[in-house]
Amino acid sequence: MKIVVLMKQVFDTEAKITLDGSGKINKQGVSLVMNPYDEYAVELGLRIKEKLKGEVTVVSLGGDEVQSALRQALAMGADKAVLVDPGTEEIDEFTTATILAKAVGGMEYDIILGGFKAIDDGSVQVCGRVAEILGVPVVNVVTQAEVEEGKAVATCDIDGGSAVIEVSLPAVLTAQKGGIEPRYPSMKGIMQAKKKPMQKIGLAEIGLDAAQVAPKVKALNFFMPAARAAGKTVPGEPAEAARELARLLREEAKVI
Amino acid sequence: MAKGIWVFAEQRDEEIKKVTYELLSAGRKAADALGEELCAVLMGRGVGSLAGKLGEYGADKVYVADVDALENYTTDAYTNVLADLAKEHQPTAILLACSVAGRDLAAQVAQRLGTGLMTDCTDIAMEDGQLVFTRPIYAGKAFVKAACPQARPVMATIRPNVLAADAPQAGRAAETVTVSAGAGDIRQVIKEIIKQISTRPELTEADIIVSGGRGMKGPENFAILEELADVLGAAVGASRAAVDAGWLSHSFQVGQTGKTVSPVLYIACGISGAIQHLAGMSSSKCIVAINKDPEANIFKVADYGIVGDLFEIVPLLKEEMKKLLA
Ligand SMILES: Cc1cc2nc3c(=O)[nH]c(=O)nc-3n(C[C@H](O)[C@H](O)[C@H](O)COP(=O)(O)OP(=O)(O)OC[C@H]3O[C@@H](n4cnc5c(N)ncnc54)[C@H](O)[C@@H]3O)c2cc1C
Ligand SMILES: Nc1ncnc2c1ncn2[C@@H]1O[C@H](COP(=O)(O)O)[C@@H](O)[C@H]1O
């Protein structure tokens, strides 16, 4: 079974966000981690490999800094990594998906896994777009999946509950937290990861040019949320405070 | 020329979701500004009778695709119908709810139409003759204003509860257009649907949320939050600490790796206010914090705070609310 995992490196969830001199998101000094949902995708990929034999290839789009997250995936047990550098910062989800689909399209794959959402500027669309470009079905927000040769049965979140969905392979599945916990890389895994192949490629190598991947969406400006006005501490003994809070919510905030 | 602002009318169990009315109200303003029509696209089985409501909330035209294959949402069936319809009529924009189905559908349709998509938007405006969308990024720690200057249709999913729905106009009727196209080949085979049986509203749609964290001490104690929630008609949420402890399932988690919510009122009980939790709820209109630690971070974002023991305060608050709402 050939398993491909699409993995994005993102800002640590602890990161404080600021704007730089040109009004863009400041990337200086921010620590980077593997997108938490992609950890589930890597884990799912490894479990499929352990059950059915095969190979896990982790593919990411980004700059050189992404190698650390790719090494982490290799240390967890993935077999090889591919890093595609788009060569520009001017990208949107259309760009990302077009490039990833082209890179993956040139590989052998039975199943493509990703996170359902990137927690940075993610927008829950890259994997779906990749599926659409490759002409394979997608099942999103998967919490658990049973994969066999030729098919996957996935439990996924839907509005108001969950659903069990079967698809023929190849297919794209996007992972949500749920049934499985991602493993930590072992010491041995970390050592082995250093020797595993990491291929770095650019657009030309996969046969794309900048015009084909020009973004559809344009960011006009970035801004920080307005600080919330200082709140009130409702004083008094519990009974008194509860009564006063109820009154404030009704009369002042008018929310009940 | 591309024409029309379209709204994907989300329904479940033959009921239009409230967010659809929010989208219609925003879409109405955009359509009027552009001098175009506002259309709703209604899909499902046995949903035709819902078209009237969409007219009352501002739609000029309702495309109704009412076939067996659309009874339950599947990516392929809904994508095929919506994308074909959009190819035929070339709308200017398509707005969808940022729900599980809405964002699933939006990504597929956007790619099939070769266009841009902005998701989880919290505002729409007309600026220099184009639709501009505001969306939170880094889980609400920053915002970006974005547009899709050339590709059409412009597509966006909008977060429920952030845009106001205008009052319906009784008797205002929309033209109904029956969509004849089939749902096509559906590769996602539904084996089972497990509905979460709850009398409470869904977290992302709720006007009021009562949330508990590690301070709840154990799953059994969530009963006191549920009682308060029932008095308020609220949903129950949780911090990741409560979810990781196994007290509630992940579907209750609020935060950067859980659900993003924007209720009118969010009551955080025994939650410290970690940055990842705030990311999911700080766009709530009014935040109440009940925590015994006066230094807890949650008080920095709270409009009203009570420093004290939640096990004393929550039951008292429930009684006060009962009296007020009686
Ligand atoms: C990658 C990543 C993603 C994350 N995503 C999320 C997320 O999506 N959502 C999320 O919530 N967290 C998330 N977290 C976890 C987050 O960092 C915090 O650990 C978590 O939010 C803490 O939950 P808590 O506030 O319930 O617990 P604590 O921080 O332990 O706070 C408990 C609070 O309860 C108060 N308390 C205790 N007893 C009482 C009492 N009797 N009466 C009143 N108050 C009392 C205490 O004073 C304390 O403030 C994430 C972390 C990481 C690393
Ligand atoms: N730059 C990227 N490189 C590799 N995978 C990506 C990239 N961006 C997004 N993805 C994949 O798409 C998923 C959803 O991202 P998004 O659509 O941006 O929320 C991520 O969890 C990854 O699996």
Q: What's the pLDDT at B12?
A: 87
Q: What's the pLDDT at A106?
A: 96
Nearest to B313 among A36, A140, A241 (CB): A241
Report CA(A158)–ligand 1 centroid distance (Å): 26
Query: Is B18 within 8 Å of B201 (Cβ atoms)?
Result: no
Nearest to B111 among A133, A164, A171 (CB): A133
Give the tens place of pLDDT for each residue, B45-56: 999 999 999 999
Give the CA distances from residue A1 to residues A45, A97, A151, A161, A197, in Å, rounded to whole numbers and listed in that order.
10, 23, 11, 31, 19
Is pLDDT above 80 for B187? yes
Nearest CA to ligand 2 atom 13: A115
Alpha carbons B271 and B274: distance in angstroms, whole number? 8
Give the tens place of pLDDT for each residue, B92-136: 999 999 999 999 999 999 999 999 999 999 999 999 999 999 999
Residue A250: list chain B partners with CB under 8 A: 324
Residue B193: list chain A partners with CB under 8 A: 158, 161-164
CATH number at residue B252: 3.40.50.1220
The ligand placed nearest to the CA atom of residue A99 is: 2
Interface test with A, best of B316, B319, B321, B323 (most A CBs within 10 A): B316
Atom of ligand 2 nearest to the CA of A125: 17
Task: Report yes or no: A14 at the B interface, CB cutoff 8 Å.
Answer: yes
B145 within domain boundaries:
yes
- Residues having CB closer than 6 A to ligand 1 are A 13, 36; B 213-215, 239-242, 253-258, 270-272, 274, 276-277, 280, 290-293, 296, 309-311
Range A2-213: architecture per CATH? 3-Layer(aba) Sandwich (3.40)
Interface test with A, best of B94, B100, B252 (most A CBs within 10 A): B100
CA dihedral B8→B127→B285→A226, nearest 10 degrees, is: 140
Q: For chain B, how many structural domains are there in total?
A: 2
B168 within domain boundaries:
yes
Predicted model pTM: 0.95
Q: Which domain holds residue B217?
A: 203-325
Residue B326: list chain A partners with CB under 8 A: none
Task: Report yes or no: A133 at the B interface, CB cutoff 8 Å.
Answer: yes
Alpha carbons B19 and B220: distance in angstroms, whole number? 33
Degrees, nearest 5: CA angle B302-B303-B304: 90
Higher pLDDT, B202 or A112: A112
Domain boundaries, chain A: 2-213, 225-256
Whether complex ipTM tops 0.90: yes
Whether omega before B153 lies within 30 degrees of 0, making that bond cis, reads: yes
| Pair (B170, B210) in one structural domain | no
Q: What is the distance, to the nearest Å, from the Cα of residue A93 to the centroid of all Cα atoms in its chain?
A: 12
Q: Which of A64, A89, A92, A96 has the most ligand 2 atoms within 8 A of CB, as the residue to mutate? A: A96
Q: Which long-range contacts (CB under 8 A, 24 or more apart) does A242-247 make?
A: A242/B306, A242/B313, A242/B316, A242/B317, A242/B319, A242/B320, A243/B316, A243/B320, A245/B288, A245/B304, A245/B306, A245/B317, A245/B320, A246/B317, A246/B320, A246/B321, A246/B323, A246/B324, A247/B324
Alpha carbons A42 and B275: distance in angstroms, whole number? 26
Neighbours of B148 (CB within 10 A): 26
Give the CA distances from residue B93 to residues A236, B29, B39, B96, B150, in Å, rounded to whole numbers and listed in that order.
53, 13, 10, 10, 12
Q: Which of B257, B282, B284, B288 has the most ligand 1 atoms within 8 A of CB, as the residue to mutate? A: B257
Give the distance from residue B171's alpha carbon to the nearest chain A alpha carbon, in angstroms: 30
- B178, B194, B214 - which closes a domain: B178
Q: What is the distance, to the nearest Å, from the Cα of residue A112 to the centroid of all Cα atoms in its chain?
A: 13
| Contact criterion met (CB < 8 Å) for B308 and A238 | yes
| Pair (B35, B168) in one structural domain | yes
| Pair (B102, B217) in one structural domain | no
Per-residue pLDDT of chain A (256 residues; tens, 9 = 90+): 999 999 999 999 999 999 999 999 999 999 999 999 999 999 999 999 999 999 999 999 999 999 999 999 999 999 999 999 999 999 999 999 999 999 999 999 999 999 999 999 888 999 999 999 999 999 999 999 999 999 999 999 999 899 999 999 999 999 999 888 999 999 999 999 999 999 999 999 999 999 999 999 999 999 999 888 889 999 999 999 999 999 999 999 999 9
Q: Which of B277, B293, B297, B298 has the most ligand 1 atoms within 8 A of CB, as the residue to mutate? A: B277
Q: What's the pLDDT at B1?
A: 41
Residue of A nearest to B107 (CA): A125
Pairing of strands A198-202, B5-9: unpaired
| Pair (B216, B304) in one structural domain | yes
**3-state secondary structure string across chain B:** CCCCEEEEECEECCEECHHHHHHHHHHHHHHHHHCCCEEEEEEECCCHHHHHHHHHCCCCEEEEEECHHHCCCCHHHHHHHHHHHHHHHCCCEEEEECCHHHHHHHHHHHHHCCCCEEEEECEEEEECCEEEEEEEEHHHCEEEEEECCCCCCEEEEECCCCCCCCCCCCCCCCEEEECCCCCCCCCCEEEEEEECCCCCCCHHHCCEEEEECHHHCCHHHHHHHHHHHHHHCCEEEECHHHHHCCCCCHHHEECCCCECCCCCEEEEECCCCCHHHHHHHCCCCEEEEEECCCCCHHHHCCCEEEECCHHHHHHHHHHHHHHHHC
- B143, B178, B213 - which closes a domain: B178
Residue A93: list chain B partners with CB under 8 A: 107, 116-117
Q: What's the pLDDT at B197?
A: 78
Q: What's the pLDDT at A230?
A: 82
| Pair (B158, B85) in one structural domain | yes
Share of chain B above pLDDT 70, in %: 99
CATH number at residue B79: 3.40.50.620
| Pair (B172, B234) in one structural domain | no
Task: Read off the pLDDT band of B140 (50, 70, 90).
Answer: confident
| Pair (B94, B11) in one structural domain | yes
* Inter-chain contacts counted by CB atoms under 8 A, chains A and B: 260
Nearest to B316 among A137, A239, A255 (CB): A239
Residue of A nearest to B253 (CA): A177
| Pair (B120, B17) in one structural domain | yes
Give the distance from residue B286's alpha carbon to the nearest chain A alpha carbon, in angstroms: 7
Nearest CA to ligand 1 atom 51: B276
Residue A232: list chain B partners with CB under 8 A: 303-305
Report CA(B171)–ligand 2 centroid distance (Å): 46
| Pair (B154, B276) in one structural domain | no
Nearest CA to ligand 2 atom 20: A115
| Pair (B147, B285) in one structural domain | no
| Pair (B57, B135) in one structural domain | yes
| Pair (B174, B207) in one structural domain | no
Nearest CA to ligand 1 atom 47: B293
Pairing of strands B61-66, B38-44: parallel
Nearest to B285 among A132, A245, A255 (CB): A255
Q: What's the pLDDT at A229?
A: 84
Nearest to A125 among B107, B208, B289 (CB): B107
Report CA(B219)–ligand 1 centroid distance (Å): 15
B92 within domain boundaries:
yes
B263 within domain boundaries:
yes
Is pLDDT above 90 for B66? yes
